[in-house]
Amino acid sequence: MTLAGDIIDLNLAYRSMLSEKVGPNRATAIADAMVPNDLIQLLANGPLGREAVAAALQSLSSDEPGTRTGDDDAVLVHARSDVRLLSPLPRPTSLRDCSAYELHLHNSTRGQIPPRWYDSPTYYKGNPASVIGDRTDVPLPAGARKCDYELEYAAVIGKTGRDLDAVTALDHIAGYLVFNDVSLRSVQFREMSVGLGPAKSKDLDGTNILGPALVTPDEWDPHEDRIMRAFVNGEEWSSGLTTSIHFSVGEILSHISQAEGLHVGDVIGTGTVGGGSGLEVGRYPESGDTVTLDIEGLGQLSNTWGTTASATLVTE
């Protein structure tokens, strides 16, 4: 029987379930349409996709890790220890990140919070092509300084919507995941001084980390107290609670959806929890350090700060 933490190939499971009914070739075509390997395409299938996933899971009630199926001897169920998870959304439809935690902004501005911040959730739009997942090195430019982590979670949109209220907006969430919004502070301080940004400081390749897996709303509720922690080389640097947020997830999504539709596969970060960055604690990870974000119920994202000589950036 599959255990919590086992990794199931849902596409293969659905294909195997259908093979005896329609033959292997047709089963493959149907499985690729109903339970595609791309999460955004699966979410776009809506209730039909969810029903197909449920049927695939039901068919696996007696399978164990290492189970193989079909003529190609493909592995159907993997032990978690044998798998490195890629980002659930290697290229989101869009990427937005909010600033919804008052304490984080207070700490970052030395108490000089702009009064307008309280009017509505503010956010910037990031680079969807910059995403990596768990246990992947962060390829920071050579000579980059103050390369910071940001302890966040993000909501993933599973249903298109526009002009939503704060309650209805929650029905459009497919799930949540951990979000490490890696920030090059030495670049950020310079570029934002001209009145635009953040840009390069937030959107370099490999500096938006999402994972380890999408957790559905029936399994995880940000309105409950969930502990958020950040570790550097195993030492705890930051901690906070999801419920310390100033704007609720529903309020964030409602604001973003006004005259600007939400789309399947959009990723919306809620912002850094208070105390959840090196900027706030007065020290930064260095090249070779491993940063782990741990959010209760969402899992852990662990990445090592690497370097690359492929580019240099103008810093402060």
- Domain of residue 196, CATH code: 3.90.850.10
Say if 316 falls within a structural domain: no
Rg of the chain (C-alpha set):
21
Compute CA distances 36 → 14, 90, 181, 216, whole Å. 10, 15, 28, 18
d(CA 9, CA 94): 26
φ, ψ at 84 (rounded to 5°): -105, 120
Last residue of a domain, one of 82, 111, 134: 82
The reply to whether 165 and 99 lie within a common domain is yes
Is the confidence at residue 71, as pLDDT, over 70? no
Q: Is the pLDDT of residue 4 over 70?
A: no
The DSSP 8-state label assigned to residue 124 in this structure reads: E
Q: DSSP H helical segments within 162-245, as ranges?
A: 185-192, 200-203
Beta bridge partners of 294: 229, 300
Contact indicator for 134, 293 with CB cutoff of 8 Å: no
Instruction: Name the domain boundary from 60, 82, 104.
Output: 82
Q: What is the pLDDT of residues 36-60, one digit of tens each?
A: 999 999 999 999 999 999 999 988 8
- On whether both 155 and 258 belong to a single domain, the answer is yes
Same-domain status, 237 and 213: yes
- Domain shared by 277 and 153, yes or no: yes
Task: List strand residue ranges (DSSP E) for the chain, in order.
Answer: 7-8, 68-69, 74-75, 77-78, 94-99, 122-125, 131-132, 138-141, 147-148, 151-157, 173-181, 183-184, 208-215, 227-232, 235-241, 266-269, 290-295, 299-308
Q: How many domains does the chain have?
A: 2
pLDDT band, very low/low/confident/very high, at 67 (cuts 50, 70, 90): low
1 domain-assigned: no
**Does residue 111 surpass a pLDDT of 90?**
yes
pLDDT at 1: 43
Domain boundary among 48, 82, 116: 82
Share of the chain above pLDDT 70, in %: 92
Residue 176 CA to residue 198 CA, distance in Å, equals 24
Of residues 76 and 283, which shows the higher confidence score?
283
- What is the total residue count of the chain? 316
| Residue 313: inside a domain | no
To 5 degrees, how large is the angle CA 190–CA 195–CA 198?
60
Query: Is there a contact between 96 and 262 (Cβ–Cβ < 8 Å)?
Result: no
Domain that holds residue 164: 94-308
Query: Are 205 and 267 contained in the same domain?
Result: yes
Tokens 């990140």 belong to: 97
Query: Model-level pTM?
Result: 0.93
Check whether residue 103 and residue 247 sit in a common domain: yes
Q: What share of the chain in percent tops pLDDT 90? A: 75
- Looking at the domain assignment, is residue 229 inside a domain? yes
Residue 132 has pLDDT above 50, yes or no: yes
Is 265 in the same domain as 174? Answer: yes
- Mark whether 59 and 162 lie in a shared domain: no
pLDDT band with cut points at 50, 70 and 90 for residue 100: very high
User: What average pLDDT does the chain have?
Assistant: 92
**Domain annotation covers residue 53:** yes
How confident is the model at residue 193, as a pLDDT? 81
Query: For residue range 155-212, what is the model confidence (pLDDT) as tens digits?
Result: 999 999 999 999 999 999 999 999 999 999 988 888 888 878 788 889 889 999 999 9
Q: What confidence score (pLDDT) does residue 69 get? A: 64
The DSSP bridge pattern shows strands 290-295 and 131-132 to be unpaired
Mean pLDDT computed over 228-238: 98
Q: Are strands 227-232 and 74-75 parallel, antiparallel or unpaired?
A: unpaired
Residues 118 and 101: beta-carbon distance below 8 Å: no
